[in-house]
């Protein structure tokens, strides 16, 4: 309801009214990471990136569970993208420290989709080595479609890691020599 009210206020060019609605939503006790991420998106849309980043940082501080993992990893991705766009290295570093601190919890989820979110987050932030470690875990968990990484612009720092080419070679079927 808060999202809809804020969008309606913005459509009528009532930015002050939208800000009041968003602040009320953010101030409610017990809002989870999903709502924080959605409200952060509205703040970003309304050109309030500092408030968006603050909400995203709150979202990633929630306990990581299978139920909220998707929202938390969306917060990491969105936060790092927004911080990079703003050239806010301090915010990027905070997101990455938080993500690095969750490595054990991430592994316990046993879901390579979240490992792939971590791969993208680390790669966007220029941490190819960390991205590669997460990609290896995803591959060990059964992920096999690596082709897209070779052309995805956000995966550049991952592709620059020496171990990436070796991982690709190890995943491709051997081609028999021509007689």
The span from the CA of 83 to the CA of 9, in Å, is 26
Work out the percent of the chain whose per-residue pLDDT is above 90.
56
Q: How far is CA 62 from CA 69, 93, 107, 146, 157, in A?
A: 10, 18, 17, 30, 28
* Short-list 87, 79, 37, CA closest to 59: 37
Cα 94 to Cα 4, 35, 49, 100, distances in angstroms: 30, 21, 16, 10
Percent of the chain topping pLDDT 70: 79
Q: Return the ∠ at Cα 101 (arms to 88 and 132), rounded to 5°.
A: 80
Instruction: Judge contact between 75 and 39, C-beta under 8 A.
Output: no
Please tell me the predicted confidence (pLDDT) of residue 116.
95
176 DSSP 8-state letter: P
d(CA 179, CA 176): 9
Residue 18 has pLDDT above 90, yes or no: no
Please give the model's pTM, rounded to 2 decimal places: 0.82
pLDDT at 178 over 80: no
- pLDDT tens digits for range 37-94: 988 888 888 788 998 999 999 999 999 999 999 999 999 999 999 999 999 999 999 9
End-to-end CA distance of the chain: 68
Mean pLDDT, all residues of the chain: 85
The answer to whether residues 43 and 81 touch, using CB atoms and an 8 Å cutoff, is no
Task: Give φ, ψ of 178 to 5 degrees.
Answer: -75, 140
């Amino acid at each position: 309801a808060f999202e809809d009210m804020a969008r309606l206020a913005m459509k009528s060019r009532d930015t002050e009214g939208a800000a009041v609605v968003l602040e009320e939503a953010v101030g409610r006790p017990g809002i989870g990471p999903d709502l924080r991420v959605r409200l952060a998106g509205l703040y970003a849309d309304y050109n309030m990136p500092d408030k968006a980043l603050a909400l995203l940082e709150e979202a990633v501080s929630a306990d990581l569970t299978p139920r909220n993992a998707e929202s938390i990893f969306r917060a990491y991705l969105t936060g790092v993208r927004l911080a990079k766009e703003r050239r806010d290295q301090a915010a990027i570093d905070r997101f990455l420290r938080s993500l690095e601190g969750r490595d054990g919890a991430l592994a316990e989820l046993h879901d390579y989709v979240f490992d792939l979110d971590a791969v993208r987050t680390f790669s966007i932030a220029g941490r190819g080595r960390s991205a590669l470690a997460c990609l290896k875990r995803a591959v060990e968990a059964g992920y096999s479609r690596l082709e897209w990484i070779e052309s995805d612009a956000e995966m550049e720092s991952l592709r620059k890691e020496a171990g990436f080419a070796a991982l690709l070679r190890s995943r491709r079927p051997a081609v028999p020599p021509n007689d």
